[in-house]
Structure 1
């Protein structure tokens, strides 16, 4: 991510110690690490959401191709997408089925 070497980290640590002092330095480090973790979590969630939306778009495009072919003689990739969509549709409708 960042190309920071040992000497740069040492310089940052010494400057932080001089500016903040030994009393406030641990608290500043904890708050900085907490902020970095929260930014990573947000970035990870965003990445997962984008991947999910791309997968949905891919399934939608494959369904369009399958419908254009009349759902007959489909390639294995299209057939697996159609099967996955059918399973998803059944799982959504299952709670609403009457016994």
Structure 2
């Protein structure tokens, strides 16, 4: 990644030992390791989110292809994608859907009760 050889690492270690001293050098190395691991975790999180978004985009494109073709003559992969996309859309819309409207008879009974 950085193309650092043995002699460069040795020079960095000697300079670090001279600047920080033997007491603070181990804690500085641990802090550096924590920082690097935090950066790696963040980059993995971003990568997984991007993969997820690309998967959703791919499913959306499959749905567009399915709509443009005859829905009966789809390949099994497109049928699976269509089912996955429809279920994902239903999951997303479920919290925002309104309560089921009252039937005509129930609404009429409620109006009659209010008149009494």
TM-score by length of 1: 0.82
Give 5+ residue unaligned stretches, structure 2: 95-116
Structure with the greater alpha carbon radius of gyration:
2
Is residue 66 from structure 1 mapped to residue 69 from structure 2 by the alignment?
no
CA displacement 1:70-94 (0-9 Å, x = unmatched): 4121123312211333454577789
TM-score by length of 2: 0.71
Q: CA RMSD in A?
A: 2.0
Shift in Å, 1:59: 0.3
In structure 2, distance between residues paired with 1:69 and 1:12: 63
Find runs of 4+ consecutive structure 1 residues off by over 6 angstroms.
Answer: 90-94
- Count of paired positions: 95
C-alpha change, 1:93 and 1:53, in structure 2 (3 Å) is: closer
In structure 2, distance between residues paired with 1:28 and 1:67: 59
SS of alignment partner, residue 14 of structure 1 = helix
- The answer to whether the 8 Å contact 2:60/2:85 transfers is no
Partner of 1:97: none
Give 5+ residue unaligned stretches, structure 1: 95-99
